[in-house]
A and B are shown apart, each in its own frame.
Chain A
Amino acid sequence: MKVLVPVKRVVDYNVKIRVKADGSGVETANVKMSMNPFDEIAVEEAVRLKEAGKATEVIVVTVGPTAAQETLRTALAMGADRGILVQTDAETQPLAVAKVLKALVDKEGPTLVILGKQAIDDDCNQTGQMLAALLGWPQGTFASKVVAGDGAVTVTREIDGGLETVELTLPAVVTADLRLNEPRYASLPNIMKAKKKPIETLAPDALGVDVAPRLTTLKVAEPPKRKAGVKVADVAALVDKLKNEARVI
Protein backbone atom coordinates (compact mmCIF):
# COMPACT_ATOMS: atom_id res chain seq x y z
CA MET A 1 0.00 0.00 0.00
CA LYS A 2 1.01 3.60 -0.61
CA VAL A 3 1.12 6.01 2.29
CA LEU A 4 0.64 9.76 1.85
CA VAL A 5 2.03 12.14 4.49
CA PRO A 6 1.13 15.86 4.38
CA VAL A 7 3.81 18.02 6.02
CA LYS A 8 3.64 21.71 6.87
CA ARG A 9 6.44 24.22 7.11
CA VAL A 10 5.98 26.24 10.28
CA VAL A 11 7.91 28.58 12.58
CA ASP A 12 10.24 26.36 14.61
CA TYR A 13 8.78 25.38 17.96
CA ASN A 14 11.74 26.91 19.80
CA VAL A 15 11.20 30.39 18.38
CA LYS A 16 9.54 32.93 20.63
CA ILE A 17 7.21 34.51 18.09
CA ARG A 18 6.52 38.23 17.84
CA VAL A 19 3.23 39.81 16.91
CA LYS A 20 3.62 42.48 14.21
CA ALA A 21 3.17 46.00 15.47
CA ASP A 22 0.33 46.71 13.01
CA GLY A 23 -1.65 43.71 14.28
CA SER A 24 -1.70 42.08 10.85
CA GLY A 25 -0.07 38.83 11.92
CA VAL A 26 3.00 37.20 13.36
CA GLU A 27 6.54 38.08 12.24
CA THR A 28 7.79 35.25 10.02
CA ALA A 29 10.56 37.05 8.11
CA ASN A 30 14.05 35.94 9.16
CA VAL A 31 12.64 33.42 11.58
CA LYS A 32 13.78 29.80 11.74
CA MET A 33 11.30 27.52 9.98
CA SER A 34 11.00 23.76 10.43
CA MET A 35 8.73 20.86 9.72
CA ASN A 36 5.71 20.86 12.05
CA PRO A 37 6.80 18.51 14.90
CA PHE A 38 3.69 16.34 14.59
CA ASP A 39 4.42 15.87 10.89
CA GLU A 40 7.90 14.53 11.69
CA ILE A 41 6.13 11.92 13.78
CA ALA A 42 3.78 11.17 10.88
CA VAL A 43 6.69 10.78 8.45
CA GLU A 44 8.50 8.51 10.91
CA GLU A 45 5.44 6.29 11.25
CA ALA A 46 5.08 5.98 7.47
CA VAL A 47 8.78 5.19 7.00
CA ARG A 48 8.55 2.51 9.71
CA LEU A 49 5.58 0.97 7.88
CA LYS A 50 7.74 0.81 4.79
CA GLU A 51 10.67 -0.67 6.68
CA ALA A 52 8.30 -3.29 8.12
CA GLY A 53 7.31 -4.24 4.59
CA LYS A 54 3.74 -3.00 5.02
CA ALA A 55 4.00 0.13 2.89
CA THR A 56 5.34 0.11 -0.64
CA GLU A 57 5.84 3.83 -1.10
CA VAL A 58 5.83 6.92 1.12
CA ILE A 59 4.80 10.14 -0.64
CA VAL A 60 5.14 13.46 1.20
CA VAL A 61 3.18 16.53 0.19
CA THR A 62 3.16 20.13 1.27
CA VAL A 63 0.90 23.01 0.35
CA GLY A 64 2.77 26.27 0.56
CA PRO A 65 5.44 28.55 -0.84
CA THR A 66 8.43 27.39 -2.88
CA ALA A 67 10.54 27.46 0.30
CA ALA A 68 8.43 24.59 1.66
CA GLN A 69 10.50 22.34 -0.62
CA GLU A 70 13.04 22.32 2.23
CA THR A 71 10.46 20.63 4.41
CA LEU A 72 9.89 18.00 1.74
CA ARG A 73 13.67 17.43 1.55
CA THR A 74 13.77 16.85 5.29
CA ALA A 75 11.04 14.24 4.96
CA LEU A 76 12.84 12.63 2.02
CA ALA A 77 16.03 12.48 4.11
CA MET A 78 14.06 10.68 6.82
CA GLY A 79 13.15 8.00 4.28
CA ALA A 80 10.14 9.14 2.24
CA ASP A 81 10.36 8.21 -1.45
CA ARG A 82 9.14 11.28 -3.28
CA GLY A 83 7.61 14.68 -2.69
CA ILE A 84 4.86 16.86 -4.09
CA LEU A 85 4.80 20.64 -3.64
CA VAL A 86 1.44 22.25 -4.23
CA GLN A 87 2.73 25.75 -4.69
CA THR A 88 0.78 28.71 -3.32
CA ASP A 89 1.73 31.91 -1.53
CA ALA A 90 -1.75 32.29 -0.06
CA GLU A 91 -2.43 31.52 3.61
CA THR A 92 -3.35 27.83 3.73
CA GLN A 93 -6.44 27.15 5.81
CA PRO A 94 -7.38 23.59 6.78
CA LEU A 95 -10.44 23.25 4.50
CA ALA A 96 -8.43 24.33 1.44
CA VAL A 97 -5.54 22.03 2.36
CA ALA A 98 -7.96 19.15 2.87
CA LYS A 99 -9.41 19.78 -0.61
CA VAL A 100 -5.95 19.80 -2.17
CA LEU A 101 -5.12 16.57 -0.34
CA LYS A 102 -8.39 14.99 -1.48
CA ALA A 103 -7.47 15.75 -5.10
CA LEU A 104 -4.03 14.21 -4.58
CA VAL A 105 -5.50 11.12 -2.95
CA ASP A 106 -7.78 10.70 -5.97
CA LYS A 107 -4.70 10.97 -8.19
CA GLU A 108 -2.20 8.87 -6.22
CA GLY A 109 -4.47 6.26 -4.63
CA PRO A 110 -2.87 5.82 -1.18
CA THR A 111 -4.43 3.37 1.29
CA LEU A 112 -3.39 5.38 4.32
CA VAL A 113 -2.89 9.10 4.89
CA ILE A 114 -0.98 10.01 8.06
CA LEU A 115 -1.05 13.69 9.09
CA GLY A 116 0.06 15.52 12.19
CA LYS A 117 -2.74 16.09 14.67
CA GLN A 118 -2.13 19.82 14.76
CA ALA A 119 -0.01 22.47 13.11
CA ILE A 120 1.76 24.43 15.85
CA ASP A 121 1.26 27.77 14.08
CA ASP A 122 -2.51 27.91 13.54
CA ASP A 123 -3.18 25.30 16.27
CA CYS A 124 -6.28 24.30 14.26
CA ASN A 125 -6.31 20.53 14.66
CA GLN A 126 -8.70 20.15 11.71
CA THR A 127 -7.08 19.06 8.46
CA GLY A 128 -7.03 15.28 9.02
CA GLN A 129 -10.65 15.18 10.13
CA MET A 130 -11.67 17.34 7.15
CA LEU A 131 -9.79 15.17 4.68
CA ALA A 132 -11.43 12.04 6.11
CA ALA A 133 -14.83 13.72 5.71
CA LEU A 134 -14.21 14.72 2.08
CA LEU A 135 -13.03 11.20 1.23
CA GLY A 136 -15.74 9.48 3.25
CA TRP A 137 -12.99 7.54 5.04
CA PRO A 138 -12.78 6.65 8.74
CA GLN A 139 -10.40 8.66 10.93
CA GLY A 140 -8.05 7.68 13.73
CA THR A 141 -7.09 11.02 15.27
CA PHE A 142 -4.53 11.71 18.03
CA ALA A 143 -2.92 8.31 17.47
CA SER A 144 -0.43 6.95 19.98
CA LYS A 145 -0.28 3.51 18.36
CA VAL A 146 -1.04 2.34 14.83
CA VAL A 147 -1.20 -1.33 13.82
CA ALA A 148 -1.80 -1.81 10.12
CA GLY A 149 -3.38 -5.13 9.24
CA ASP A 150 -5.04 -6.59 6.16
CA GLY A 151 -7.91 -4.37 5.16
CA ALA A 152 -8.02 -2.59 8.51
CA VAL A 153 -5.91 -0.46 10.81
CA THR A 154 -6.16 -0.46 14.59
CA VAL A 155 -5.50 2.91 16.16
CA THR A 156 -5.01 3.71 19.84
CA ARG A 157 -6.08 7.30 20.45
CA GLU A 158 -5.16 9.77 23.18
CA ILE A 159 -8.47 11.06 24.55
CA ASP A 160 -9.21 13.32 27.52
CA GLY A 161 -9.90 10.47 29.92
CA GLY A 162 -7.13 8.11 28.81
CA LEU A 163 -6.86 5.92 25.73
CA GLU A 164 -9.38 4.63 23.21
CA THR A 165 -8.86 1.97 20.56
CA VAL A 166 -10.75 1.92 17.26
CA GLU A 167 -10.57 -0.37 14.27
CA LEU A 168 -10.87 1.36 10.91
CA THR A 169 -11.55 -0.16 7.54
CA LEU A 170 -8.86 0.78 5.03
CA PRO A 171 -8.45 3.19 3.33
CA ALA A 172 -8.25 5.49 6.35
CA VAL A 173 -6.86 8.74 7.72
CA VAL A 174 -4.67 8.79 10.84
CA THR A 175 -3.38 11.86 12.72
CA ALA A 176 -0.25 11.52 14.83
CA ASP A 177 -0.01 12.51 18.48
CA LEU A 178 3.23 13.09 20.39
CA ARG A 179 3.68 9.58 21.75
CA LEU A 180 3.26 7.67 18.49
CA ASN A 181 7.02 7.38 18.01
CA GLU A 182 10.26 9.28 18.30
CA PRO A 183 11.23 10.61 14.88
CA ARG A 184 14.76 9.83 13.68
CA TYR A 185 17.39 12.36 12.73
CA ALA A 186 18.35 12.14 9.09
CA SER A 187 21.91 10.90 8.61
CA LEU A 188 24.30 12.80 6.36
CA PRO A 189 24.32 10.09 3.66
CA ASN A 190 20.52 10.11 3.68
CA ILE A 191 20.45 13.90 3.41
CA MET A 192 22.70 13.56 0.35
CA LYS A 193 20.52 10.84 -1.13
CA ALA A 194 17.39 12.92 -0.54
CA LYS A 195 18.73 15.60 -2.89
CA LYS A 196 18.28 13.18 -5.75
CA LYS A 197 14.75 12.08 -4.85
CA PRO A 198 12.03 13.55 -7.09
CA ILE A 199 9.85 16.50 -6.11
CA GLU A 200 6.92 17.36 -8.36
CA THR A 201 5.47 20.87 -8.30
CA LEU A 202 1.78 21.49 -8.97
CA ALA A 203 -0.52 24.48 -8.83
CA PRO A 204 -3.78 24.26 -6.84
CA ASP A 205 -5.60 25.25 -10.05
CA ALA A 206 -4.20 22.19 -11.81
CA LEU A 207 -5.93 20.11 -9.13
CA GLY A 208 -9.13 22.06 -9.58
CA VAL A 209 -9.05 23.38 -6.03
CA ASP A 210 -9.83 26.90 -4.87
CA VAL A 211 -7.53 27.65 -1.93
CA ALA A 212 -8.95 31.09 -1.10
CA PRO A 213 -9.28 31.47 2.70
CA ARG A 214 -12.78 31.24 4.20
CA LEU A 215 -11.87 33.00 7.39
CA THR A 216 -10.56 36.53 7.42
CA THR A 217 -8.14 37.44 10.15
CA LEU A 218 -9.16 40.91 11.30
CA LYS A 219 -6.45 41.31 13.87
CA VAL A 220 -3.65 39.49 15.65
CA ALA A 221 -2.81 40.76 19.12
CA GLU A 222 -0.52 39.84 21.97
CA PRO A 223 -2.22 38.03 24.81
CA PRO A 224 -2.47 39.88 28.11
CA LYS A 225 0.95 39.68 29.77
CA ARG A 226 1.27 38.03 33.14
CA LYS A 227 3.39 39.97 35.56
CA ALA A 228 6.14 38.02 37.25
CA GLY A 229 5.36 37.86 40.93
CA VAL A 230 7.65 37.57 43.89
CA LYS A 231 10.09 34.98 45.14
CA VAL A 232 9.31 33.70 48.58
CA ALA A 233 12.02 32.74 51.04
CA ASP A 234 10.68 29.43 52.26
CA VAL A 235 7.69 27.13 52.51
CA ALA A 236 6.24 28.95 55.52
CA ALA A 237 6.29 32.24 53.61
CA LEU A 238 4.62 30.56 50.64
CA VAL A 239 1.79 29.15 52.74
CA ASP A 240 1.33 32.53 54.39
CA LYS A 241 1.01 34.25 50.97
CA LEU A 242 -1.42 31.66 49.64
CA LYS A 243 -3.61 31.95 52.72
CA ASN A 244 -3.50 35.62 53.52
CA GLU A 245 -2.66 37.42 50.30
CA ALA A 246 -3.99 35.30 47.43
CA ARG A 247 -6.59 33.54 49.64
CA VAL A 248 -6.66 30.45 47.46
CA ILE A 249 -6.19 27.84 50.20
Chain B
Amino acid sequence: MAILVIAEHDNAALKPATLNAVTAAAKIGGDVHVLVAGQGAQAVADAASKIAGVAKVLLADDAAYAHPLPENVSPLVVGLAKGYGHVLAAASSEGKNLLPRVAALLDVAAISDITGVVSADTFERPIYAGNAIATVKSADPIKVVTVRTTAFEAAAATGGSATVESVAGTGAAGTAKFVGQELTKSERPELTQAKIVVSGGRGMQSGDNFKLLEALADKLGAAVGASRAAVDAGFVPNDYQVGQTGKIVAPELYIAVGISGAIQHLAGMKDSKVIVAINKDEEAPIFQVADYGLVADLFKAVPELTAELDKA
Protein backbone atom coordinates (compact mmCIF):
# COMPACT_ATOMS: atom_id res chain seq x y z
CA MET B 1 0.00 0.00 0.00
CA ALA B 2 1.11 3.54 -0.64
CA ILE B 3 2.53 5.84 2.02
CA LEU B 4 1.37 9.40 2.59
CA VAL B 5 4.00 11.90 3.75
CA ILE B 6 2.76 15.24 5.06
CA ALA B 7 4.93 18.04 3.67
CA GLU B 8 6.14 20.81 5.93
CA HIS B 9 6.39 24.23 4.34
CA ASP B 10 5.61 27.92 4.69
CA ASN B 11 3.49 28.12 1.51
CA ALA B 12 6.55 29.34 -0.40
CA ALA B 13 9.21 26.71 0.16
CA LEU B 14 9.34 23.08 1.20
CA LYS B 15 11.12 22.54 4.54
CA PRO B 16 14.06 20.13 4.40
CA ALA B 17 12.62 17.93 7.20
CA THR B 18 10.16 16.60 4.60
CA LEU B 19 13.07 15.03 2.73
CA ASN B 20 14.05 12.95 5.75
CA ALA B 21 10.47 11.77 6.18
CA VAL B 22 10.44 10.70 2.51
CA THR B 23 13.54 8.57 3.13
CA ALA B 24 11.82 6.85 6.07
CA ALA B 25 8.82 6.20 3.80
CA ALA B 26 11.07 4.69 1.15
CA LYS B 27 12.54 2.36 3.79
CA ILE B 28 9.07 1.14 4.70
CA GLY B 29 8.50 0.43 1.01
CA GLY B 30 5.60 1.23 -1.30
CA ASP B 31 4.63 4.20 -3.46
CA VAL B 32 5.40 7.48 -1.70
CA HIS B 33 2.82 10.26 -2.02
CA VAL B 34 3.29 13.72 -0.53
CA LEU B 35 0.45 15.89 0.73
CA VAL B 36 0.89 19.66 0.53
CA ALA B 37 -1.87 21.41 2.47
CA GLY B 38 -1.47 25.15 2.16
CA GLN B 39 -2.66 28.36 0.63
CA GLY B 40 -1.05 29.52 -2.59
CA ALA B 41 1.35 26.63 -2.22
CA GLN B 42 1.76 25.58 -5.87
CA ALA B 43 5.52 26.22 -5.68
CA VAL B 44 5.75 23.85 -2.73
CA ALA B 45 3.87 21.15 -4.62
CA ASP B 46 6.19 21.63 -7.60
CA ALA B 47 9.22 21.28 -5.33
CA ALA B 48 7.73 18.16 -3.74
CA SER B 49 7.15 16.63 -7.19
CA LYS B 50 10.89 16.80 -7.86
CA ILE B 51 11.92 14.83 -4.76
CA ALA B 52 13.56 11.59 -5.81
CA GLY B 53 11.29 8.62 -5.10
CA VAL B 54 8.00 10.50 -4.83
CA ALA B 55 5.30 9.08 -7.08
CA LYS B 56 2.49 11.57 -6.56
CA VAL B 57 1.87 14.93 -4.92
CA LEU B 58 -1.54 15.89 -3.55
CA LEU B 59 -2.12 19.62 -3.32
CA ALA B 60 -4.93 20.89 -1.10
CA ASP B 61 -4.94 24.62 -1.65
CA ASP B 62 -7.40 26.32 0.66
CA ALA B 63 -7.50 29.40 2.89
CA ALA B 64 -8.11 27.04 5.84
CA TYR B 65 -4.54 25.77 5.41
CA ALA B 66 -2.78 29.15 5.31
CA HIS B 67 -1.31 28.09 8.67
CA PRO B 68 -0.92 24.47 9.68
CA LEU B 69 -3.69 24.47 12.29
CA PRO B 70 -4.26 20.81 13.24
CA GLU B 71 -7.98 21.49 13.80
CA ASN B 72 -8.26 22.23 10.07
CA VAL B 73 -5.62 19.94 8.59
CA SER B 74 -6.49 16.75 10.51
CA PRO B 75 -9.90 16.14 8.84
CA LEU B 76 -8.22 16.47 5.45
CA VAL B 77 -5.54 13.93 6.34
CA VAL B 78 -8.08 11.57 7.92
CA GLY B 79 -10.16 11.64 4.74
CA LEU B 80 -7.15 10.78 2.60
CA ALA B 81 -5.56 8.31 5.03
CA LYS B 82 -8.13 5.57 4.41
CA GLY B 83 -6.36 4.84 1.12
CA TYR B 84 -2.92 4.45 2.70
CA GLY B 85 -1.06 1.99 4.89
CA HIS B 86 1.06 4.66 6.54
CA VAL B 87 0.89 8.38 7.25
CA LEU B 88 4.25 9.98 8.01
CA ALA B 89 5.54 13.41 8.99
CA ALA B 90 8.74 14.78 10.44
CA ALA B 91 8.87 14.77 14.25
CA SER B 92 9.02 18.57 14.20
CA SER B 93 6.85 20.83 16.33
CA GLU B 94 4.40 20.79 13.43
CA GLY B 95 4.37 17.03 12.88
CA LYS B 96 4.05 16.34 16.61
CA ASN B 97 1.12 18.73 16.79
CA LEU B 98 -0.77 17.19 13.87
CA LEU B 99 -0.18 13.45 13.69
CA PRO B 100 -1.47 12.31 17.11
CA ARG B 101 -4.69 14.18 16.32
CA VAL B 102 -4.95 12.32 13.03
CA ALA B 103 -4.22 8.99 14.72
CA ALA B 104 -6.92 9.44 17.35
CA LEU B 105 -9.49 10.34 14.70
CA LEU B 106 -8.56 7.14 12.87
CA ASP B 107 -8.66 5.22 16.17
CA VAL B 108 -5.10 3.99 15.74
CA ALA B 109 -1.96 4.39 17.85
CA ALA B 110 0.59 7.01 16.88
CA ILE B 111 4.24 6.06 16.79
CA SER B 112 6.41 9.03 17.73
CA ASP B 113 9.89 9.96 16.70
CA ILE B 114 11.05 6.76 15.00
CA THR B 115 14.79 6.29 14.51
CA GLY B 116 14.60 3.01 12.62
CA VAL B 117 12.35 0.99 10.33
CA VAL B 118 12.50 -2.73 11.11
CA SER B 119 9.61 -3.68 8.82
CA ALA B 120 6.39 -2.13 7.58
CA ASP B 121 4.75 -2.55 10.99
CA THR B 122 7.74 -2.50 13.34
CA PHE B 123 9.80 0.54 14.27
CA GLU B 124 12.54 1.63 16.65
CA ARG B 125 12.06 4.68 18.80
CA PRO B 126 13.96 6.21 21.70
CA ILE B 127 12.32 6.34 25.14
CA TYR B 128 13.54 7.79 28.46
CA ALA B 129 15.44 10.63 26.80
CA GLY B 130 17.16 8.23 24.45
CA ASN B 131 18.54 6.08 27.28
CA ALA B 132 16.67 3.11 25.84
CA ILE B 133 15.53 2.15 22.37
CA ALA B 134 12.18 0.40 22.10
CA THR B 135 11.21 -1.79 19.16
CA VAL B 136 7.44 -1.51 18.77
CA LYS B 137 5.02 -3.35 16.53
CA SER B 138 1.68 -1.94 15.50
CA ALA B 139 -1.39 -4.07 14.83
CA ASP B 140 -3.40 -1.13 13.47
CA PRO B 141 -4.47 -1.01 9.81
CA ILE B 142 -2.94 2.45 9.33
CA LYS B 143 0.38 3.36 10.91
CA VAL B 144 0.67 7.02 11.87
CA VAL B 145 4.32 7.82 12.41
CA THR B 146 6.57 10.81 13.09
CA VAL B 147 10.16 10.54 11.95
CA ARG B 148 13.25 11.76 13.77
CA THR B 149 14.98 13.65 10.98
CA THR B 150 18.52 13.09 12.25
CA ALA B 151 18.05 9.33 11.94
CA PHE B 152 17.27 9.33 8.20
CA GLU B 153 19.28 10.92 5.40
CA ALA B 154 17.53 13.56 3.34
CA ALA B 155 16.10 12.26 0.06
CA ALA B 156 17.49 14.02 -3.03
CA ALA B 157 15.49 17.21 -3.63
CA THR B 158 15.72 16.73 -7.39
CA GLY B 159 15.50 13.87 -9.83
CA GLY B 160 11.85 13.00 -9.37
CA SER B 161 8.98 13.90 -11.67
CA ALA B 162 5.80 13.13 -9.78
CA THR B 163 2.38 14.23 -10.94
CA VAL B 164 0.64 16.95 -8.94
CA GLU B 165 -3.03 16.29 -8.28
CA SER B 166 -5.41 18.74 -6.66
CA VAL B 167 -7.57 17.53 -3.80
CA ALA B 168 -10.47 19.36 -2.26
CA GLY B 169 -10.05 20.95 1.14
CA THR B 170 -12.30 20.11 4.07
CA GLY B 171 -12.75 23.69 5.24
CA ALA B 172 -12.03 25.37 8.55
CA ALA B 173 -13.14 23.91 11.89
CA GLY B 174 -13.73 27.43 13.16
CA THR B 175 -12.43 26.62 16.65
CA ALA B 176 -8.84 27.82 16.25
CA LYS B 177 -7.50 31.05 14.86
CA PHE B 178 -3.93 31.90 13.98
CA VAL B 179 -3.04 35.17 15.71
CA GLY B 180 0.63 35.69 14.97
CA GLN B 181 4.17 34.40 14.89
CA GLU B 182 7.42 35.62 16.32
CA LEU B 183 10.11 33.81 14.42
CA THR B 184 13.73 34.01 15.51
CA LYS B 185 15.71 35.69 12.77
CA SER B 186 19.21 34.54 12.07
CA GLU B 187 21.73 34.67 9.27
CA ARG B 188 23.22 31.44 10.53
CA PRO B 189 22.23 27.98 9.35
CA GLU B 190 19.15 26.38 10.92
CA LEU B 191 20.01 24.40 14.06
CA THR B 192 18.72 21.04 12.88
CA GLN B 193 20.29 21.36 9.43
CA ALA B 194 23.71 22.79 10.34
CA LYS B 195 26.92 20.78 9.82
CA ILE B 196 28.44 22.41 12.89
CA VAL B 197 26.65 23.52 16.06
CA VAL B 198 28.13 25.64 18.85
CA SER B 199 26.02 25.51 22.02
CA GLY B 200 26.28 27.43 25.26
CA GLY B 201 25.00 26.66 28.73
CA ARG B 202 24.57 28.30 32.09
CA GLY B 203 28.35 28.79 32.17
CA MET B 204 27.94 31.59 29.61
CA GLN B 205 26.52 33.73 32.44
CA SER B 206 24.63 36.19 30.21
CA GLY B 207 23.02 36.66 26.83
CA ASP B 208 25.66 39.24 26.03
CA ASN B 209 28.40 36.65 26.44
CA PHE B 210 26.79 34.54 23.70
CA LYS B 211 28.52 36.98 21.33
CA LEU B 212 31.65 34.95 22.01
CA LEU B 213 29.91 31.85 20.66
CA GLU B 214 28.41 33.74 17.74
CA ALA B 215 31.87 34.93 16.67
CA LEU B 216 33.10 31.33 16.83
CA ALA B 217 30.02 30.06 15.00
CA ASP B 218 30.44 32.59 12.23
CA LYS B 219 34.04 31.51 11.75
CA LEU B 220 32.86 27.89 11.38
CA GLY B 221 29.65 28.52 9.46
CA ALA B 222 27.86 27.00 12.42
CA ALA B 223 24.47 27.33 14.07
CA VAL B 224 24.16 28.40 17.70
CA GLY B 225 22.28 26.28 20.24
CA ALA B 226 21.86 26.23 23.99
CA SER B 227 21.02 24.16 27.05
CA ARG B 228 17.72 24.55 28.82
CA ALA B 229 19.43 26.42 31.67
CA ALA B 230 20.69 29.07 29.22
CA VAL B 231 17.24 29.42 27.67
CA ASP B 232 15.43 29.53 31.02
CA ALA B 233 17.83 32.24 32.16
CA GLY B 234 16.79 34.28 29.12
CA PHE B 235 20.24 34.33 27.48
CA VAL B 236 18.83 33.16 24.13
CA PRO B 237 15.40 32.44 22.57
CA ASN B 238 13.47 29.25 23.38
CA ASP B 239 14.01 27.70 19.97
CA TYR B 240 17.77 27.44 20.65
CA GLN B 241 17.19 24.63 23.14
CA VAL B 242 18.82 21.32 22.31
CA GLY B 243 17.67 18.23 24.17
CA GLN B 244 14.99 15.72 25.10
CA THR B 245 12.35 18.38 24.95
CA GLY B 246 14.08 20.78 22.60
CA LYS B 247 15.66 20.14 19.23
CA ILE B 248 17.43 16.97 18.25
CA VAL B 249 20.64 17.64 16.36
CA ALA B 250 23.31 15.37 14.88
CA PRO B 251 25.85 17.57 13.15
CA GLU B 252 29.36 16.63 12.03
CA LEU B 253 30.71 18.69 14.90
CA TYR B 254 29.00 19.76 18.15
CA ILE B 255 30.84 22.12 20.47
CA ALA B 256 29.35 22.29 23.99
CA VAL B 257 30.54 25.30 25.95
CA GLY B 258 29.77 25.75 29.66
CA ILE B 259 27.25 22.87 29.53
CA SER B 260 27.41 20.20 32.25
CA GLY B 261 25.90 17.38 30.18
CA ALA B 262 22.61 16.47 31.89
CA ILE B 263 20.90 13.43 30.32
CA GLN B 264 18.16 15.69 28.97
CA HIS B 265 20.75 17.70 27.07
CA LEU B 266 22.67 14.63 25.86
CA ALA B 267 19.39 13.27 24.47
CA GLY B 268 19.45 16.05 21.90
CA MET B 269 23.06 15.86 20.70
CA LYS B 270 24.74 12.56 21.51
CA ASP B 271 24.39 11.28 17.97
CA SER B 272 26.63 14.07 16.68
CA LYS B 273 29.61 12.72 14.77
CA VAL B 274 32.27 14.56 16.75
CA ILE B 275 31.64 16.19 20.13
CA VAL B 276 33.87 18.82 21.73
CA ALA B 277 33.32 19.98 25.30
CA ILE B 278 34.78 23.07 26.89
CA ASN B 279 34.15 23.16 30.61
CA LYS B 280 36.15 24.29 33.61
CA ASP B 281 34.98 21.35 35.72
CA GLU B 282 36.93 18.26 34.71
CA GLU B 283 34.27 16.07 36.36
CA ALA B 284 31.45 17.44 34.19
CA PRO B 285 29.45 14.51 32.67
CA ILE B 286 29.68 16.09 29.22
CA PHE B 287 33.27 14.80 29.08
CA GLN B 288 31.94 11.23 29.13
CA VAL B 289 30.53 11.68 25.65
CA ALA B 290 33.03 14.17 24.25
CA ASP B 291 35.58 13.02 21.70
CA TYR B 292 37.74 15.99 22.62
CA GLY B 293 37.50 17.62 26.02
CA LEU B 294 39.15 20.85 26.99
CA VAL B 295 39.19 21.65 30.69
CA ALA B 296 39.40 25.42 30.66
CA ASP B 297 37.69 28.68 31.45
CA LEU B 298 35.46 29.32 28.47
CA PHE B 299 36.02 33.07 28.63
CA LYS B 300 39.64 32.42 27.82
CA ALA B 301 39.30 29.33 25.61
CA VAL B 302 36.54 30.47 23.25
CA PRO B 303 38.21 33.73 22.09
CA GLU B 304 41.46 31.79 21.74
CA LEU B 305 39.75 29.19 19.61
CA THR B 306 38.21 31.85 17.37
CA ALA B 307 41.60 33.51 17.01
CA GLU B 308 43.34 30.20 16.28
CA LEU B 309 40.89 29.50 13.46
CA ASP B 310 41.63 32.97 12.09
CA LYS B 311 45.26 32.01 11.71
CA ALA B 312 44.64 29.06 9.48
Binding site for B on A (CB under 8 A): 11, 13, 16-17, 19, 26, 38, 93-95, 98, 117-118, 120-134, 137-139, 141-142, 144, 154, 157-169, 172, 177-179, 214-223, 226, 228-232, 234-236, 238-239, 241-243, 246, 248-249
Total residue contacts A-B, CB cutoff 8 A: 253
> CB of B129 within 8 A of chain A?
yes
Partner of B101, one of A132, A159, A228: A132
With A158-B238, A161-B183 already in contact, the answer to whether A17 and B137 are too (CB < 8 A) is no
Bound Cα distance A215, B111 (Å) = 9
Which residue of A is nearest B231, CB measured? A179
**Interface segment, one of B32-40, B47-55, B300-308:** B300-308
Chain A residues with CB below 8 A from B103, complex form: 95, 126, 130, 133
Closest CB in chain A relative to B260 CB, distance in Å: 13
> CB of B206 within 8 A of chain A?
no
Evaluate contact between A215 and B289: CB separation under 8 angstroms: no
Evaluate contact between B94 and A123: CB separation under 8 angstroms: no
Evaluate contact between B100 and A249: CB separation under 8 angstroms: no
Chain B 270-312 interface 0/1 with A at a Cβ cutoff of 8 Å (1 = within): 1001111000001000011111111110000100110011001
Bound Cα distance A137, B105 (Å) = 12
Which one of B104, B122, B138, B309 has the greatest number of beta carbons of chain A within 10 Å? B104
Evaluate contact between A218 and B132: CB separation under 8 angstroms: no
Bound Cα distance A243, B182 (Å) = 38
**Interface segment, one of B21-29, B57-65, B81-89, B172-180:** B172-180
Evaluate contact between A249 and B253: CB separation under 8 angstroms: yes
Chain B residues with CB below 8 A from A220, complex form: 127, 132-135
With A126-B103, A166-B177 already in contact, the answer to whether A248 and B252 are too (CB < 8 A) is yes
Chain A residues with CB below 8 A from B122, complex form: 218
Bound Cα distance A163, B137 (Å) = 35
Chain B residues with CB below 8 A from A215, complex form: 109, 111, 136-139
Evaluate contact between B128 and A26: CB separation under 8 angstroms: yes
Chain B residues with CB below 8 A from A93, complex form: 109
Bound Cα distance A130, B105 (Å) = 8
Interface residues of B in 109-135 (CB under 8 A from A): 109-113, 122, 125-135
With A133-B105, A138-B71, A218-B135 known, 6 other A-B pairs at CB within 8 A are A118-B245, A137-B175, A138-B176, A160-B239, A161-B183, A221-B133
Chain A residues with CB below 8 A from B308, complex form: 235-236, 239
Which residue of A is nearest B139, CB measured? A214
Closest CB in chain A relative to B195 CB, distance in Å: 8
Binding site for A on B (CB under 8 A): 69-71, 74, 92-94, 96-105, 107-113, 122, 125-140, 173-184, 192, 196, 220, 228, 231-232, 237-239, 244-245, 247, 252-253, 263-264, 270, 273-276, 282, 287-296, 301, 304-305, 308-309, 312
Bound Cα distance A205, B274 (Å) = 52
Bound Cα distance A153, B253 (Å) = 42
With A125-B112, A219-B134 already in contact, the answer to whether A26 and B290 are too (CB < 8 A) is no
- A-B pairs with beta carbons under 8 Å apart, 29 shown: A13-B264, A26-B128, A94-B109, A95-B107, A120-B128, A124-B112, A129-B99, A138-B175, A141-B96, A159-B181, A161-B181, A162-B238, A163-B181, A165-B178, A166-B179, A167-B179, A168-B176, A169-B174, A215-B139, A216-B139, A220-B133, A226-B275, A229-B291, A229-B293, A232-B293, A235-B301, A239-B305, A246-B291, A249-B220
Bound Cα distance A129, B182 (Å) = 23
Chain B residues with CB below 8 A from A129, complex form: 70, 96-101, 104
Chain B residues with CB below 8 A from A134, complex form: 104
